[in-house]
């Protein structure tokens, strides 16, 4: 889509699934909803550093950004 696109006010949902590939294999799934609002400029997202985590460890992603 280009200039004049209008997607604001819509939402889309999807599932995110992860698995450890082990035996037995452990998996988890969460539903995520993304809401689109009308803006006049593209949002920005600050870089998120690469992460390494040990099996069974918790991964937390914290980020910041800006938009209008």
Domain ranges of the chain: 10-66
pTM of the model: 0.42
Query: pLDDT at residue 3 above 70?
Result: no
| pLDDT in the model for residue 46 | 81
Query: What integer best gives the mean pLDDT of the chain?
Result: 80
Q: Are 26 and 55 in contact (CB under 8 A)?
A: no
pLDDT digits (tens, 9 = 90+) for 18-67: 999 899 999 999 999 988 777 667 777 788 788 888 888 888 877 777 76
Query: pLDDT at residue 68 above 90?
Result: no
Higher pLDDT, residue 29 or 7: 29
């Amino acid at each position: 889509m280009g200039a004049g696109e209008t997607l604001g006010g819509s939402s889309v949902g999807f599932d995110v699934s992860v698995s450890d590939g082990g035996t037995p294999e452990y998996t988890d799934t969460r539903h995520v909803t993304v809401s689109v609002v009308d803006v006049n400029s593209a949002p920005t997202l600050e870089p998120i550093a690469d992460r390494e985590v040990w099996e069974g460890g918790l991964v937390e992603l914290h980020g910041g950004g800006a938009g209008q």
